[in-house]
Structure 1
């Protein structure tokens, strides 16, 4: 193989590698199909109509289990529940809008992704720190007798 051939092959490989990296952080992640505003039925201080949960649907948690000003991630259900103020329950997709990692925890008023450091506000799922550029989608839930269920 000639040195010209080696340089040409190496140059093409480098160009392909750089092209693949050029849009890092701008990937479009498929969002969950259920993107309705969260229902906050029967939660003190909440608004919105009361919606009946699906018959036999298991509760994700009790309102008392979700810390005020914080939240809890349910990785197996791909949902994060927050309680921005007493009695107000919010639910969001637990899939980070940056590259699809599952968020790991809630602390300091934000929902935090371990992969690249994105953080989302517990009150509305909006971006508090990037690289994510889009808010976490809301997930519909109901609160009946203190039990939080997916709607």
Structure 2
């Protein structure tokens, strides 16, 4: 006995497939709800001369902020604010600043300098070779 596909079975099968696909999630490992992937390992972010001493540069597409707290000392942190997942947008006066709710983080270690965030920005691994700064 063969089963014939009816309009109802085709619609049900298609709907179930779409529903299951819509339920899949992307896990970046950061705990963030933002589903877009981070920069790939080994990708050059910038040059050492482009990151100001005492400041930093935000790379929105890669969701990384690179700072230079002291001359020749480069650090990198996630650019995703630990408060509600907004991207930080600038580095000024020794802090990495989030535009959404005013959280500020230290350029030295990502520690919270002003809330409402309560957790520091997670560190990102970078390598500095010559004047090139790359994700590790």
Contact 1:31/1:137 (<8 A) preserved: no
Per-residue deviation, 1:59: 1.4
- Post-superposition, which runs of at least 4 consecutive aligned residues in structure 1 deviate over 4 A? none
2-structure distance, mates of 1:131, 1:59: 32
Q: Which residue is 1:21 aligned to?
A: none
Q: Which residue is 1:87 aligned to?
A: 72
Contact 1:103/1:114 (<8 A) preserved: yes
2-structure distance, mates of 1:91, 1:63: 12
Q: Which residue is 1:115 aligned to?
A: 100
Calculate the aligned-residue CA RMSD, in Å: 1.6
Q: Which residue is 1:97 aligned to?
A: 82
Greater relative contact order structure (CA < 8 Å, 6+ sep): 1
Residues 40-98 of structure 1, C-alpha deviations (whole Å, 9 max, x = no match):
xxxxxxxxxxxxxx6xx331111110000000000000000000000000000000000
State the number of aligned residues: 100
1-structure distance, mates of 2:129, 2:60: 22
> Where does 1:1-151 land on structure 2 (aligned, <5 Å)?
30-31=31-32, 57-151=42-136
Q: TM-score, normalised by structure 2?
A: 0.70
5+ residue gaps, structure 2: 1-29, 34-40
